[in-house]
């Protein structure tokens, strides 16, 4: 009996190295087949290695099995193997890689549910593997995902944390590029184009060979274009065409550069037309701004400054058109509208799309449309006109006096809006 037991023990011990040897052979075969892109046969070899072993050989075989499914565009099977890896072997040196691969894939989705899953996996990696060499990359993906989910404060905190890490210098380009996206995101309540521009410039200047450099140049140029700094924008757009020719980014830059040139030409024409308007006003028979205006039937007013601001400006020899957040300042009078047209010869200013006229703090006029003679200081408001005048009450405090009409003709005299005629 003792001899039989000894024989069985010796046989079992001798079988362990043999099993490890067979697993190693299957694992090595799988690696060779994977390198030669024979992914189907590689899968069989890795599955055999998993059956014949445990520990690191089994863990890495499971990881490579997931990789082989991924190469064959079978993401469902790839994710199943990655999940099995971090569940069955969470202490394996490949568990954090598997987590990151799944998070990276989900983070590229447009589905909010996938993005939330990616966020949770990145947070899990950062919690379970704080010393992982993939910690900084997971943090970048977490920051980028939070930007897309609208969690801007969380994203900012995570990205700054990456930049402050001494062991993350090889991923600074990605972190700074993400910061640029964060500050330029139109949904970010703390949007700051100047800070976004600084972040994109860091990428272009410090890491010009980075895979993010082309889009950083493009983004910087686009911000400068929005700020109407076209000459500076052209430098960044041209850098994309010169340094990254043949890329998708370069293809996207060509129409934007052309649009930038068109916008610059329109702006210059608009500014020239506006300057022409000012010259016509000051050269007219009833000069505005003179110390003593000549007596006329219609009142005149001192105009200290005329300013017109808008997102877009179009003009020809007869008129200038303004679109998007139009703001007009004529002395103490301010006009806000969605759209406006100024007739250069007659000095008539017309607005549409909702208009507000304010005169100091005492008068306000809201209407759908407004026609105003800049030179003679006379206007017509129409469409649900609401005229508000603040008058001094018995206690000295200004009380609003509101009148609602369909049409109101008025003039500005001695710093006041004076109704001339109205239509109920």
- Structural domains of the chain, ranges and CATH numbers in brackets: 21-265 (1.25.40.10), 292-423 (2.60.450.10)
Q: Please report how the helices 55-71 and 2-35 are oriented relative to each other, as an axis angle in degrees rounded to 10.
A: 30
Q: How much is the average pLDDT of 243-271?
A: 78
- For residue 64, the model assigns a pLDDT of 94
- For residue 182, the model assigns a pLDDT of 96
- For residue 284, the model assigns a pLDDT of 44
Q: What Rg do the C-alpha atoms of the chain give, in angstroms?
A: 35
Cβ neighbours for 366, distance < 8 A, ≥ 6 positions apart: 354, 355, 356, 357, 384, 385, 386, 388
Q: What is the token pair recorded at 298? A: 């219609």
Phi, psi values for residue 225, rounded to 5°: -65, -45
Q: What is the token pair recorded at 121? A: 């996996």
Q: How much is the average pLDDT of 181-208?
A: 94
- End-to-end Cα, the chain, rounded Å: 118
Rounded CA gap, 57 and 21, in Å? 11
Rounded CA gap, 365 and 387, in Å? 5
Compare 389 and 390 and report the one with higher pLDDT. Answer: 389
Burial (CB < 10 A; 0-12, 13-18, 19+), residue 283, is exposed
Could you tell me the pLDDT band of residue 8, with boundaries at 50, 70 and 90? very low
Q: Are 56 and 85 in contact (CB under 8 A)?
A: no
- For residue 39, the model assigns a pLDDT of 92
Cβ neighbours for 82, distance < 8 A, ≥ 6 positions apart: 63, 66, 98, 99, 101, 102
96-111 tens-digit pLDDT: 999 999 999 999 988 9
- For residue 206, the model assigns a pLDDT of 93
- For residue 2, the model assigns a pLDDT of 41
Q: Which of 361, 300, 305 is nearest to 328 (CA)?
A: 305
The answer to whether residue 3 scores a pLDDT higher than 50 is no
Q: How much is the average pLDDT of 3-14?
A: 39
Compare 252 and 150 and report the one with higher pLDDT. Answer: 150
Which has the minimum average pLDDT: 165-179, 187-201, 267-281? 267-281
- For residue 296, the model assigns a pLDDT of 30
CB atoms closer than 10 angstroms to residue 264: 17
Contacts 24+ apart (CB under 8 A), 276-280: 276/344, 277/306, 277/320, 277/342, 277/344, 277/347, 278/306, 280/344, 280/345, 280/347
- For residue 338, the model assigns a pLDDT of 81
Compare 138 and 264 and report the one with higher pLDDT. Answer: 138
Rounded CA gap, 247 and 256, in Å? 15
- For residue 275, the model assigns a pLDDT of 57
Question: Which of 20-24, 238-242, 243-247, 398-402 ranks highest by mean pLDDT?
Answer: 238-242
- For residue 9, the model assigns a pLDDT of 37
Rounded CA gap, 196 and 184, in Å? 6
Question: Which of 81-90, 249-258, 414-423 ranks highest by mean pLDDT?
Answer: 81-90
- For residue 149, the model assigns a pLDDT of 95
Could you tell me the pLDDT band of residue 180, with boundaries at 50, 70 and 90? very high
Compare 20 and 123 and report the one with higher pLDDT. Answer: 123
The answer to whether residue 267 scores a pLDDT higher than 70 is no
Q: What does the mean pLDDT of the chain come to?
A: 80
Rounded CA gap, 41 and 81, in Å? 17
- The neighbouring-strand residues paired with 366 are 356, 386
From residue 224, alpha-carbon distances to 183, 220, 228, 231, 241 in Å are: 14, 6, 6, 9, 17
Q: How much is the average pLDDT of 377-384?
A: 84
The answer to whether residue 162 scores a pLDDT higher than 80 is yes
- For residue 274, the model assigns a pLDDT of 58
The answer to whether residue 293 scores a pLDDT higher than 50 is no
- What is the full DSSP assignment across 383-414? EEEEEEEEEE-TTS-EEEEEEEEEEEEEEEET
Q: How much is the average pLDDT of 339-366?
A: 78
Compare 50 and 362 and report the one with higher pLDDT. Answer: 50
48-79 tens-digit pLDDT: 999 888 788 999 999 999 999 999 999 999 99
Q: Are 354 and 368 in contact (CB under 8 A)?
A: yes
Token pair 């949007």 is found at: 191
Rounded CA gap, 231 and 217, in Å? 14
């Amino acid at each position: 009996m003792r001899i039989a037991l000894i024989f069985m023990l010796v046989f079992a011990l001798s079988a362990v190295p043999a099993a490890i040897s067979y697993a190693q052979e299957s694992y090595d075969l799988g690696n060779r087949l994977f390198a030669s892109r024979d992914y189907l046969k590689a899968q069989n070899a890795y599955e055999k290695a998993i059956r014949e072993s445990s520990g690191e050989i089994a863990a890495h075989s499971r990881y490579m099995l997931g990789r082989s499914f991924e190469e064959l565009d079978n993401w469902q099977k790839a994710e199943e193997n990655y999940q099995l890896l971090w569940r069955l072997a969470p202490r394996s040196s490949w568990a954090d890689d598997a987590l990151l691969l799944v998070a990276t894939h989900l983070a590229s989705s447009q589905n909010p549910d996938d993005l939330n899953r990616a966020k949770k996996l990145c947070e899990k990696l950062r919690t379970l593997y704080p010393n992982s060499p993939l910690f900084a990359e997971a943090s970048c993906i977490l920051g980028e995902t939070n930007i897309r989910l609208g969690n801007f404060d969380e994203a900012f905190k995570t990205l700054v944390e990456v930049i402050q890490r001494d062991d993350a210098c090889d991923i600074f380009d990605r972190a700074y590029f993400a910061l640029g996206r964060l500050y330029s995101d139109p949904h970010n309540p703390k949007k700051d184009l100047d800070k976004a521009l600084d972040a994109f410039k860091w990428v272009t200047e410090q890491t010009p060979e980075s895979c993010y450099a082309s889009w950083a140049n493009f983004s910087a140029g686009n911000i400068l274009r929005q700020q109407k700094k076209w000459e500076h924008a052209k430098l960044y757009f041209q850098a994309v065409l010169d340094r990254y020719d043949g890329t998708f980014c370069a293809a996207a830059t060509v129409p934007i550069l052309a649009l930038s040139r068109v916008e610059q030409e329109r702006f210059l024409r608009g500014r020239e037309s506006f300057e022409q308007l000012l010259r016509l006003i000051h050269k007219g028979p009833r000069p505005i701004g003179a110390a003593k205006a000549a007596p006329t039937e219609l009142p005149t007013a001192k105009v200290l400054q005329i300013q017109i601001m808008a997102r877009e400006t179009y003009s020809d020899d007869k008129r200038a058109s303004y679109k998007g957040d139009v703001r007009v300042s004529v002395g103490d009078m301010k006009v806000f509208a969605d759209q406006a047209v100024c007739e250069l010869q007659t000095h008539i200013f017309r607005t549409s799309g909702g208009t507000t006229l304010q005169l100091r703090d005492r008068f306000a006029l809201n209407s759908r449309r407004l026609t105003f003679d800049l030179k003679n200081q006379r206007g017509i408001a129409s469409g649900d006109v609401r005229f508000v005048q603040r008058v001094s009450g018995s206690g000295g405090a200004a009380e609003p006096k509101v009148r609602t009409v369909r049409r109101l003709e008025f003039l500005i005299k001695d710093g006041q809006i004076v109704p001339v005629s109205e239509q109920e």
